[in-house]
Structures are given as structure tokens and as C-alpha cells.
Amino acid sequence: MRQGDTHRRIPRNATFASAMRVWAVMLVVAAVVAFACLLCGSGEVRLDDAWAALWTDADTPARAIVRELRIPRTIAAFGVGGLLAMSGCLMQVLVRNPLADPYTLGLSGGAAVGALGAMLAGAGAFWIAAGAASGALLACLAVFVLAHRELLSRQRAGQRDDATDLILTGVMLAAGSGAIVSMMLVLAPDRNLRGMLFWMMGDLSGVSWWGLPVLCLLVGLLFVVPLGRQLNLLARGEESASALGVRPGAVKAAIFVVSSIATAVAVTTAGTIGFVGLVVPHALRRVIGNDQRVLVPASAIGGGTLVMIADTASRVVADPIQLPVGAVMAVIGVPTFLFLLARRR
Amino acid sequence: MTTTLATESLRLDVDGRVLVDVLDLRIVDGEVWAVIGPNGAGKSTLLRTLAGLRAPDGGAVQLDGRDLATYRPRELARRRGFLPQSVVDAFSLTVWDAVAAARHPHLPFWHWGDDGDDTTRRALALFELEALADRDVTTLSGGERQRVNIAALFAQDVAFLLLDEPLSSLDLHQQMKVLHALERTAVREERAIVYSVHDINLAARHATHAILLDGQGHAIAGDIATVITSDHLSAAFHHPIHGVDIDGERFFRAGRLTDTTP
């Protein structure tokens, strides 16, 4: 370190090779974690049985559990975590505020209202998913229209910084949907209550379209990663970004759409799982720096890994009872976040 | 190749208030223009309009004979650079990355944006920032951050440099460094510089031309000696400003307020 440079070094991540190294290491970790998640679970299946079940075609009960329950669930967990962390990362750039994530912007609140409304009406799984998706997208639309009118106008880089508007609108929407949700919970008949509570706290058991989140994650990343340089410029401010040839309106609209769809898919699959979108990009920023070209894919991998761990913990800790993964996530996420924050000072 | 930034009867309004009524400008490379005027007179608005970041409220701005609005943003970013009055960083990033990011308009869409760029290195060296290259911009002092952003403007490598108060929060040595770098690049590399500044004496000494705004629609533009005079300054600032000759150089000082005792 240079003389007199007593400040914390933050990594410079400018080369493609170094980015590839970061991603490769994280993918290896994710793969190891995924295997561990497949092997661990409720006590009925022993570790060696689970290991054998992965590789043999022998028709054992362990094989059915591992192949038909754990594999889909683990893949879904990775996809959901990846989507949430990616959209959290994008939304933080969008509003230039490290506190933004799908939940602080009110998207999950909207999804909860939609899904719980469907449950209250006694609808089936399809309509619950449809309710969640439309709730999330409606909340997006509301944030978009209320706080971001100029996103649509052709005005070149307004001087006004509307990040505060956006986040306040999101917080208000979240508070409003929170109120509606509690009313619904009070009105709900007892037999629906448990399902509703689990949905609200995030639940990966009985995931139906388990491949969808991973697929959406891949498509989203392919769309967003080429915008990396522009995201970096946008993170420093709209005025300077547009002076450097970025169309802030177009890029912001693109990342808003991508992160909204990502959140909608994640919420539809697994209910509300908080903290992933907030904690993962934050933690990674401390380690690999704030270069969006590297950070967005890294967040996706990291978020996926974290939710896989949280989901396995939710299955194992209180076996045979399954805990809601959202609550487990919060138990892991809150101390991690506070630790990172405290170390920074 | 000469480059020209010209305005034709440019009008600037902010919230229905006319800041500049008619302004005809012709800025060519090699010239250094200082924009001066009282607070709220429209200095920033004028610079942003000249940068094409804001549409004129009347008249036209042309770069090399072509209306600014017809340029694609990237195309424009390869021709002109703009330093906003303040860049507030919400996220950590290194000084190197902040400066290297300004190479964006010169790179193709799919380009990763590589390290080891000579233009970036030269820009850092010019403003004595090599030692800070790995520092986090959010931990720098205001003046250091300002130098980083000016270095980024040089890394952008454009023919027209528009700077909104580049000297604010710089110490005297750095003010002189920045002014020297601006004047030098204007002359040696045939660029045109437009910067806004509060210190009239700095403007008078480090510019070839000036634009004086009074915020009420009047704007005087032209050669520095014809624009910066006691009469023009006193009228624009609504305050008596006298010229004093010291060692053959003319300095301007604001008269003390005499109508009330302090």
C-alpha cells in the first residue's frame, strides 16, 4: 500500500479476466452449496442414502425424495435468490440509494396483497401465483407513474433528482399494502391463516414451476450485463451520465422493467423473502467493489447461494417442522448486515 | 479541423423568468470563455444548454453547424464534455474507476472497458492524482473530488469542455493548476473551454473571452477586455465594482456598502 494511504482500499475491478475469476469462484461455491443442500434434509434420509440416490437409478424412497423434492426445490431457491439479489442491485443503481430493494420499493407489498387476496377468496395455486404477479406489477406501475413521470418524457436528463420521491413512494406503498394485508389476515378464516402466513414469510415447499426463476435469471442477466458501463455511469449521477452519452431515461426504464419482472417471478414462486436484495449486493460491494459490470452477475450468484442455504436451514433446523425461509433469511441477513455496517465505521 | 459552437438568438427561461433574452455566441477552438454573473443569473442553465443537456427556450445552439438536438447522445459525448456543479457519489468507487469511466463514449457497446488506458493515466497525472488512484472517491475531500471530476473530463478527450464552477472548493495552488491546464489544452490541443466562475479577477486573467449575465435578460459576450469593465460589472451585479491598476494589471474590487453601518 502506498505511503500515507491509511484509508480502506476498495478493489478495482476493471478487467474482464478478474471479473471472470470472481464469477467462477462464486459459481464453484454455489455448486458446492447446492450439493450440500441436496444431501441435507429431514432425518428420514441419511446422508449416504441421499448421495447414492443422486447417482443411481435404483428405485429407493431416498431417490424419490432427492430427485423429486430436493432438486427442484434447490434449483428454485437458487433462481429466486438470484432474481431478488439482481433486482435489488439494479434498483439501488436506479434510485442511487443503497437502501433500495424490491421490498423497500413496495413491490413485495403489492404482490402480498394480490396473493393473499386470492387465498382469501379460496382460489387455487394458479390464481395465487397470478395474484402475486399482478400485484407486484401493479405496485411497479404505481411507483412508476407516481414518482417517475419523467422517465417517460423525452426530456434529456432533468436536473431534479427524483430518487427520494421514488423511495418514499415505495415506502408508502409498502405501508399501505401492509395495512391491507393485516386486514385480510384478520378477516381470513382459520383454515387459510397458516398458508397465508407462510406465503408472507416466504415458502419454497411445493414449488410448481421450479425451472422458471433460473431461466428468467439467465435472460435478465444477458439483458443487463451489456449495460454495465452505463449502469456505472448512472450510479454516479444522471447529469454526468448523460453528458457522457448515456440516455438515462432509456437505461432507467430498462432496468426498472427487468427488476420488476424479476421480482414478480421471484415473489410468485416463493412468496415474500426479504433481505436478499438488500444484503447480498451490499455485502458483495464490500468485497468486490461497486463495479456494476461485475456486481450484478455476482449478486445473482451470491443471492442464489444464500437462499439455498437459508432454505436448507429452514428444512433442517426444526425438523420435522419446516420454518418459513423468509424468516430464516432475516435471521441470517440482519446480523450479517449489521456486522458489515459496523465494520465500515 | 476547427470546431465551432454557436448560438443564434438563444433565449433561456427558468420558471417563466427570462434569464437570457438574446444571446449570439460563436466559440471556436483555442478560446477560453468565462461565464460570470450574480447568483441565479443562469450561468449553470447556459452551460447545460450549451452542453445539449437542456433544450434552449428560444433560438438554437449549433455544434459545427449542426443543431445540438440532432446529435445522438454518444456522438455528442465524443465532441463535448460537461462538468456538473456537483457530483454526489452515493456508492464507493476508486478514483481510477471514476476517471476511466469517462472513456465510455469512445468505446464500442460490447467493449468491457479495459484497464491500462493512456488517456486515463495522463488525465490522472495532469491533476496530481496518481497517488490517489486507489482511493475511494467518497472518502476524498471536496477539492480532491473536484479534481477527480475535472480529470475525468480530460479523460473524455473532447474538443469542447464546459465546466460549471470548476474552481469551487479548490485551494489556490489547485485553482492555478486547473486554470493552467485548461488554458494550455485550449492553445496546444485546439480545444474550446467554457467555464463559469465567481472570481472576476481570475476570469479576467485566465480567459480570452467572457459572457456576463445579469439574470434579467441581458447578456454581454465577447472579448474579455470589452466585456469585463467596471461599468458592465457594476450594472450586472447591481453593486459598484471599481477597477484598480496594480503593477500594470487591472483588478476589480467591490465597493463597500455605505448605506448602513455593519
> pLDDT, tens digit, for every residue of B173-217?
999 999 999 999 998 988 999 999 999 999 999 999 999 999 888
Residue of A nearest to B103 (CA): A244
- Owning domain of residue A300: 85-344
pLDDT of residue B24: 93
Contacts of A128-136 with C-beta under 8 Å, sequence gap 24+, read: A128/A199, A129/A208, A129/A268, A129/A269, A132/A264, A132/A267, A132/A268, A132/A271, A133/A264, A133/A265, A133/A267, A133/A268, A135/A110, A135/A111, A136/A107, A136/A108, A136/A110, A136/A111, A136/A260, A136/A263, A136/A264, A136/A267, A136/A268
pLDDT per residue as tens digits for the range A157-213: 344 555 667 778 888 888 899 899 989 989 888 888 888 888 887 778 767 778 899
* Cα B19 to Cα A252: distance, rounded to the nearest angstrom: 31
Residue A43: pLDDT band with limits 50, 70, 90: low
pLDDT of residue A121: 85
A311: domain CATH number is 1.10.3470.10
Residue of B nearest to A244 (CA): B77
Average pLDDT, chain A: 82
- Does the pLDDT at position A1 exceed 60? no
CA A333 to the chain's CA centroid: 13
Distance from CA of A150 to the nearest CA of B (A): 14
Average pLDDT, chain B: 89
- Does the pLDDT at position A340 exceed 70? no
**Residue B237, phi then psi, degrees to nearest 5:** -90, -5
- Does the pLDDT at position B156 exceed 80? yes
Residue A25 lies in a domain: no
The better pLDDT of the pair A43, A72 is held by A72
B53–A239 CB contact, under 8 Å: yes
B53–A97 CB contact, under 8 Å: no
Could you give the C-alpha distances from B168 to A1, A59, A134, B86, B199, in angstroms and in order? 31, 76, 50, 10, 10
Residue A17 lies in a domain: no
Report yes or no: B79 and B63 within 8 Å, Cβ to Cβ. yes
pLDDT of residue A149: 60
pLDDT of residue B172: 92
* Cα A123 to Cα A126: distance, rounded to the nearest angstrom: 8
All structural domains of chain B with their residue ranges: 4-79+158-254, 92-157
* Cα A276 to Cα A253: distance, rounded to the nearest angstrom: 23
- Does the pLDDT at position B48 exceed 50? yes
pLDDT of residue A6: 42
Residue A303: pLDDT band with limits 50, 70, 90: very high
pLDDT per residue as tens digits for the range A237-271: 888 899 999 998 889 888 888 988 898 889 888 88
- Does the pLDDT at position A5 exceed 50? no
Distance from CA of A88 to the nearest CA of B (A): 14
Q: ipTM of the predicted structure?
A: 0.86
Q: Which of A13-22, A115-124, A131-140, A288-297 has the lowest mean pLDDT?
A: A13-22
Residue A87: pLDDT band with limits 50, 70, 90: very high
pLDDT of residue A148: 62
Residue A12: pLDDT band with limits 50, 70, 90: low
Residue A9 lies in a domain: no
**Residue B86, phi then psi, degrees to nearest 5:** -145, 140
Could you give the C-alpha distances from B21 to B24, B77, B216, in angstroms and in order? 10, 28, 8
Residue of B nearest to A236 (CA): B89
* Cα A230 to Cα A293: distance, rounded to the nearest angstrom: 9
> Does A268 contact chain B (CB < 8 Å)?
no
Residue A18: pLDDT band with limits 50, 70, 90: confident
Q: Going by DSSP bridges, is the β-strand pair B160-163/B192-196 parallel, antiparallel, or unpaired?
A: parallel
- Does the pLDDT at position B139 exceed 50? yes
> How many C-beta atoms surround the C-beta of residue A32 within 10 A?
11
B90–A229 CB contact, under 8 Å: no
What's the total number of domains in chain A?
1
Contact residues, chain A, for B52 at CB < 8 Å: 156
B74–A245 CB contact, under 8 Å: yes
pLDDT per residue as tens digits for the range B84-136: 988 877 788 889 888 988 888 888 887 877 655 788 889 999 998 989 988 88
pLDDT-above-70 percentage for chain A: 88
**Residue B254, phi then psi, degrees to nearest 5:** -80, 140
pLDDT of residue B36: 94
Contact residues, chain B, for A293 at CB < 8 Å: 112-113
B93–A291 CB contact, under 8 Å: yes
A244–B54 CB contact, under 8 Å: no
Residue A135 lies in a domain: yes
Q: What number is the average pLDDT over the span B245-252?
A: 88
* Cα A290 to Cα B116: distance, rounded to the nearest angstrom: 19
The arrangement of strands across the sheet holding B219-223 comes to B80-83, B160-163, B192-196, B32-36, B209-213, B219-223
pLDDT of residue B158: 92
pLDDT of residue A45: 73
Residue A14: pLDDT band with limits 50, 70, 90: low
pLDDT of residue A161: 54
* Cα A134 to Cα A126: distance, rounded to the nearest angstrom: 12
Contact residues, chain A, for B111 at CB < 8 Å: 229
A-B contacts (CB, under 8 Å): 124
Give the best-scoring range by mean pLDDT among A1-10, A150-159, A262-271.
Answer: A262-271
Residue A210 lies in a domain: yes
Nearest CB to A10: which of B84, B94, B101? Answer: B94
Nearest CB to B100: which of A2, A14, A156? Answer: A14
Q: What number is the average pLDDT over the span A19-30?
A: 93
A16–B112 CB contact, under 8 Å: yes
Residue A9: pLDDT band with limits 50, 70, 90: low
Tally of CA atoms within 13 A in the half-sphere of A82 that contains its CB? 26
Residue B159: pLDDT band with limits 50, 70, 90: very high
Residue A4: pLDDT band with limits 50, 70, 90: very low
pLDDT of residue A163: 62
Contact residues, chain B, for A89 at CB < 8 Å: none
Q: Could you name the CATH architecture of B4-79+158-254?
A: 3-Layer(aba) Sandwich (3.40)
A246–B115 CB contact, under 8 Å: no
- Does the pLDDT at position A336 exceed 90? no
Residue A33 lies in a domain: no
A289–B91 CB contact, under 8 Å: no
